[in-house]
């Protein structure tokens, strides 16, 4: 996996604040997710921004009309004039209310669309990533930062953008009005808001850097929370009385995080209070100036009211604009993480148009060696192995000798760091990974238990045949799952697991049979089984292998197992020690050789099983 930006040290200062206030990407995100909502939002925002300015103007006309009515020849005519402006002002207020509601609605609908489209983009990216991504803590930090804020941040981005646009438009209008009085007013207006804006930026910058640094701690606390609240570990947590212990660890981490967050919030409040005091100076000056001009008769009463209100409105507008910008700036932690996630590229893949894998002659491992990313330890060394179609091969060895790693390489979840894996002579690195995976039906040691219907659980092996009940049942018969699935209240349509209503909890051995059925559903030329019967009783295990061998004489079987009775059934046993193949042959040959394989089974007391 290539990680262009995430290797940046977390303590390294980010780019300057103005570079990170990326209105452009935020707007693009909204436009991509809901173009019509974005267009409606812009139109409504424009109206919302202009209405306060219109209201100021109509208010001035109302006051002036009323003030001059006393001197007018016809009081009725003057009153009618005032009424027209009162009507216009009322219209502005009404329109403002309607536009406010319409704007809130547009933002809410657009916000929901942006949220869903961000979640979909995160899912798509996660699906496109290699398996290595999920074993890399640094990549998980990036995913966490984007994912944990994805449910609410996108809506926040929409709100912030709306707030910025609306206040910017109002401010331009108010600024133009104030210019009519004195250009200095506009400058003072901005000067009054500057300290608060600067403080918000500084705070956001600090929170941004801190949150990046704290992602691992935050993720650890989420992990503890997950341990305490999900069913996966509920049994062990109770059996070992782990709840209070894990709960204390959670509280300790959260309390540290909270302390730092509170410290930052207090610092910010103190600085903001100082900024408010500082911003009072230009405010007082401006008000005094307007009052002085009015008393001197240079301004009509209406104009004085308008300038006073315009300045107050401008003050509120600058504050709200600063608030919107600061919010968008806060959203940047999320937007940056989203960008970082989207910029991650899967590990080297074959060039576009890479060939599809075939398995008509041989699967060859030629001098294969492997180190996990970020690890110095060589897990596999010089693996040489050729498997031909129809062969039944068992990989045997002590825990940690590299069998599962070999399975990951065969499925191209990782590429070898040395040597080649060739499918019909073609190096797998030149092959489309999906085409390799289509050749294999696999059961992993940690197989999935999906909380879906039994038939879906099996159909996941080949979703294109989801509706083919005949194939699903055939796979289940072969794995031994058919008997108990048929007897469930809704047969294959029964919900499995306890996540959803009417779910049937089946035993671990039964789950394993369902996983086996899923692998067999694929009807692939290779069946790759990593400890496929570890949870089954010996009868079920033996019966399964007999059925499998009888029904799949043309299929290749690669089996990892510690059960001698099963291993003895295959053509060839490959024995691994410390990441190397040390012995290879039939069971009888390896027992005669009296090497590691024989010792392993003698030690197990199963030599003549």
Binding site for ligand ADP (CB under 6 A): 135, 372, 375, 379, 397, 399-405
3-state helix, strand, coil in the chain (%, to 5): 65, 10, 25
DSSP 8-state assignment for residue 505: P
> Smallest gap, in angstroms, from Cβ of residue 369 to ligand ADP?
13
Complex with ligand ADP: residue 403 or 522, whichever CB lies closer: 403
Complex with ligand ADP: residue 53 or 393, whichever CB lies closer: 393
> Smallest gap, in angstroms, from Cβ of residue 578 to ligand ADP?
9
List beta partners, residue 496.
504
Phi, psi of 580 (to 5 degrees): -125, 155
- The residues, any chain, with a CB within 8 Å of residue 437's CB and separated by 6 or more, are 411, 412
Complex with ligand ADP: residue 227 or 395, whichever CB lies closer: 395
> H/E element holding 60?
helix 35-69
- Rounded distance, CA 143 to CA 590, Å? 48
- Rounded distance, CA 406 to CA 385, Å? 11
With tokens 């003072």, the residue in question is 188
Complex with ligand ADP: residue 402 or 532, whichever CB lies closer: 402
Which of 496, 481, 162 lies closest to 331, judged by CA? 162
Complex with ligand ADP: residue 243 or 373, whichever CB lies closer: 373
Phi, psi of 304 (to 5 degrees): -60, -45
> Smallest gap, in angstroms, from Cβ of residue 531 to ligand ADP?
8
> Smallest gap, in angstroms, from Cβ of residue 370 to ligand ADP?
9
Complex with ligand ADP: residue 254 or 562, whichever CB lies closer: 562
> Smallest gap, in angstroms, from Cβ of residue 576 to ligand ADP?
7
**Dihedral angle computed from the Cα positions of residues 525, 531, 534 and 539, in that order, rounded to the nearest 10 degrees:** 40
Complex with ligand ADP: residue 237 or 387, whichever CB lies closer: 387
CA distances from 46 to 51, 52, 190, 304, 506 (A): 9, 11, 21, 27, 59
| Residue 441 in tokens | 């039906």
> Smallest gap, in angstroms, from Cβ of residue 417 to ligand ADP?
12
> Smallest gap, in angstroms, from Cβ of residue 597 to ligand ADP?
14
> Smallest gap, in angstroms, from Cβ of residue 401 to ligand ADP?
4
> Smallest gap, in angstroms, from Cβ of residue 564 to ligand ADP?
17
Complex with ligand ADP: residue 181 or 370, whichever CB lies closer: 370
Complex with ligand ADP: residue 383 or 481, whichever CB lies closer: 383
Complex with ligand ADP: residue 404 or 556, whichever CB lies closer: 404
Q: How many CB atoms lie within 10 A of CB 259?
A: 10
With tokens 């030629």, the residue in question is 366
3-state secondary structure 314-380: HHHHHHHHHHHHHHHHHHHHHHHHHHHHHHCECCCCCCCCCECCCCCCCEEEEEEEEECCCCCCEEE
Phi, psi of 581 (to 5 degrees): -85, 120
List beta partners, residue 588.
none
> Smallest gap, in angstroms, from Cβ of residue 583 to ligand ADP?
15
């Amino acid at each position: 996996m290539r990680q262009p930006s995430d290797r940046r040290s977390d303590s390294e200062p980010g780019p300057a604040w103005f570079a990170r206030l990326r209105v452009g990407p935020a707007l693009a995100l909204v436009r991509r997710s809901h173009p019509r909502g974005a267009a409606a939002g812009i139109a409504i925002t424009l109206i919302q921004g202009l209405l306060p300015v219109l209201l100021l103007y109509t208010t001035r006309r109302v006051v002036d009309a009323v003030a001059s009515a006393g001197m007018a020849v016809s009081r009725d005519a003057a009153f009618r004039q005032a009424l027209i402006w009162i009507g216009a002002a009322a219209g502005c207020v009404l329109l403002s209310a309607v536009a406010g509601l319409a704007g809130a609605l547009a933002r809410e609908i657009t916000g929901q669309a942006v949220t869903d489209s961000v979640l979909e983009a995160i899912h798509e990216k996660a699906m496109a990533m290699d398996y290595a991504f999920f074993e890399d803590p640094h990549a998980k930090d990036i995913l966490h930062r984007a994912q944990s804020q994805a449910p609410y941040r996108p809506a926040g981005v929409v709100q912030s953008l709306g707030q910025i646009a609306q206040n910017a438009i109002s401010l331009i209008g108010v600024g133009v009005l104030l210019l009519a009085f004195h250009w200095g007013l506009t400058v003072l207006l901005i000067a009054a808001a500057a300290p608060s804006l600067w403080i918000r930026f500084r705070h956001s910058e600090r929170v941004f850097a801190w949150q990046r640094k704290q992602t691992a701690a935050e993720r650890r606390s989420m992990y503890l929370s997950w341990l305490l609240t999900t069913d996966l570990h509920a049994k062990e947590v109770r059996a070992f009385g782990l709840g209070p212990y894990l709960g204390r660890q959670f509280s300790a981490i959260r309390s540290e995080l909270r302390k730092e967050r509170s410290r930052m919030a207090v610092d910010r409040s103190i600085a903001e209070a100082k900024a408010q005091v500082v911003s009072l100076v230009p405010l007082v000056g401006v008000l005094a100036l307007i009052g002085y001009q009015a008393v001197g008769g240079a301004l009509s009463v209406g104009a004085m009211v308008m300038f006073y209100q315009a300045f107050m409105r401008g003050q509120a507008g600058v504050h709200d604009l600063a608030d919107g910008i600061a919010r968008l700036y806060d959203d940047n932690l999320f937007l940056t993480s989203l960008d970082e996630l989207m910029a991650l590229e899967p590990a080297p893949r074959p060039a576009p148009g890479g060939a599809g894998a075939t398995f008509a002659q041989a699967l060859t491992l030629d001098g294969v060696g492997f180190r996990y990313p970020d690890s110095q330890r060589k897990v596999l060394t010089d693996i040489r192995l050729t498997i031909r179609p129809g062969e039944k091969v068992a990989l045997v060895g002590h825990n940690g000798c590299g069998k599962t790693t070999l399975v990951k390489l065969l499925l191209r979840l990782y590429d070898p760091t040395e040597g080649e894996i060739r499918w019909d002579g073609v190096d797998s690195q030149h092959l489309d990974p999906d085409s390799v995976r289509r050749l294999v039906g696999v059961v992993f040691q940690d197989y999935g238990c999906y909380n879906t219907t039994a038939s879906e659980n099996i159909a996941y092996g080949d979703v294109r045949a989801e509706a083919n009940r005949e194939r699903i049942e055939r796979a289940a018969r072969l794995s031994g799952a058919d008997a108990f699935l048929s007897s469930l209240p809704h047969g294959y349509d029964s919900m499995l697991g306890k996540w959803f209503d009417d779910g049937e909890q089946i035993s671990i051995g039964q789950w394993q049979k369902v996983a086996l059925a899923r692998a067999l559903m694929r009807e692939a030329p290779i069946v790759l089984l990593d400890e496929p019967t570890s949870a089954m009783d010996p009868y079920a295990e033996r019966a399964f292998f007999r059925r499998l061998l009888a029904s799949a004489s043309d299929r290749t079987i690669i089996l990892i197992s510690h059960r001698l009775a099963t291993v003895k059934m295959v053509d060839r046993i490959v024995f691994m020690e410390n990441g190397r193949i040390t012995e290879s042959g039939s069971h009888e040959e390896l027992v005669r050789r009296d090497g590691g394989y024989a010792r392993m089974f003698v030690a197990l007391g199963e030599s003549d099983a």
